Amino acid sequence: MNIIVTGGAGFIGSNFVHHVYRERPDWHITVLDALTYAGNSKNLEGLDPERVTFVHGDITEAELVDSLVKDHDAVIHYAAESHNDNSLSNPRPFLDTNLIGTFTILEAVRKHGKRLHHVSTDEVYGDLELDDPARFTEKTPYNPSSPYSATKAGSDHLVRAWTRSFGVQATISNCSNNYGPYQHVEKFIPRQITEVLEGRQPKLYGKGENVRDWIHTEDHSSAVLTILEKGKIGETYLIGADGEKDNKTVIEMILTAMGKDASDYEHVADRPGHDMRYAIDSTKLRNELGWQPAYTDFDAGLKATIQWYTDNTDWWQPQKAETEAKYAK
């Protein structure tokens, strides 16, 4: 296989590149990434340039995308603007990347008859009540609540429309919250870890009752690879590892694991429109394609993630000061 990974220098995308590099040694990977603030070429260090080619470019550049797609077998589309707070302060980049970028890729794979897997989020479904026993399934109606989730919902609909109307060979996955190495420090888990490492109290939105369904990024990568190879064209698969935890519990687990008092954090005003609970039912993926998560011990995965950030200060410190300054403003 000769594949393109859009957004392959970002957090989830780069972890997928490393996963494929290990698991499919006869594949060639082309990474297409615009290297916005959340992309980092250091995420691809150590990979053989004979097997991994990096292309610096934007997925909205139609000529570039077309020229790459025609010479590859498949596109795995991770590239996205993905941070809720940023979408509330400046929605425009989310429309450009998540909608126009996805449209550009769809037109290229349509023209050249190539396979597409579109990576999306569970946030397109909105949220669940804390006392609701239900979880998201592939039949859950879309109900996005932020510019970020609305544009990801729109990109999903574009993929489905191009599959139905033009016969594009596409699958879609919606995944719960990822954690692990290479995640930008604006995100919840690495932000708390790096605050503690720099000697500051981490901050928690509201009461911290909001529940997220955590999955290690390695499990997300293995699931996407499974869908790429075994998934049925036109189908959507939800990816989750039964990792529901509220934010208060997670921040207290981080503090405890780092030798701090579990209550040593600051409550701050909640985010507008903050979704209460996400929960994924991945039965379809497990039963139909035989996928199972490997990282089922959240505490162990969290401690390994803390160790990675402790050992890789040179990776995250350049982005840390800018991120905190933005939040302070």
**pLDDT tens, residue by residue, 194-242:** 999 999 999 999 999 999 999 999 999 999 999 999 999 999 999 999 9
Own/partner contacts of 134-141, CB < 8 Å, gap of 24 or more, are 134/279, 135/213, 135/240, 135/279, 135/280, 135/281, 136/174, 136/238, 136/278, 136/279, 136/280, 136/281, 137/238, 137/281, 137/283, 137/284, 138/236, 138/237, 138/238, 138/284
CA-to-CA distance for 34 and 89, rounded, in angstroms? Answer: 21
pLDDT score at 135: 96
> Considering the chain, what percentage of its residues have pLDDT values greater than 70?
100
The reported pTM is 0.94
In this prediction, residue 273 carries a pLDDT of 78
pLDDT of residue 201: 95
pLDDT for position 83: 75
Q: Is the pLDDT of residue 274 over 90?
A: no
The residue among 28, 18, 79 whose CA lies nearest residue 52 is: 28
Fold of 2-184+214-243+274-295: Rossmann fold (3.40.50)
| Alpha-carbon span 190 to 183, nearest angstrom | 7
- What local confidence, expressed as pLDDT, does residue 324 receive? 85
| Predicted pLDDT of residue 89 | 84
Amino acid making up residue 306: I
On the question of pLDDT at 21 being above 90, the answer is yes
**Predicted pLDDT at 270:** 87
Active site residues: 122-123, 148
Are the C-beta atoms of 228 and 171 separated by less than 8 Å? Answer: yes
- For residue 129, the model assigns a pLDDT of 92
Q: For residue range 67-89, what is the model confidence (pLDDT) as tens digits?
A: 999 999 999 999 999 777 788 88
Quickly state the pLDDT bin for 326 (edges 50, 70, 90): confident
What is the DSSP code (8-state) at residue 234?
T
pLDDT of residue 88: 86
Cα–Cα distance for residue pair 328/186, rounded to 1 Å: 12
Q: Tell me, what DSSP letter sits at residue 123?
A: G
Q: What's the pLDDT band for 125 if we cut at 50, 70, 90?
A: very high
Q: Which helix (H) or strand (E) holds 117?
A: strand 115-121
In this model, does residue 279 exceed pLDDT 90?
Answer: yes
Question: Which range is least confidently modeled, 146-160, 216-230, 234-248, 264-278?
Answer: 264-278
d(CA 120, CA 78): 8
Tell me the two tokens of residue 70.
């025609």
Token pair 């290297």: residue: 35
271 and 210 in contact (C-beta within 8 Å)? no
The β-bridge relationship of strands 28-33 and 236-239 is unpaired
| Dist. CA 150–CA 119, nearest whole Å | 15
Distance CA 1, CA 4 (A): 10
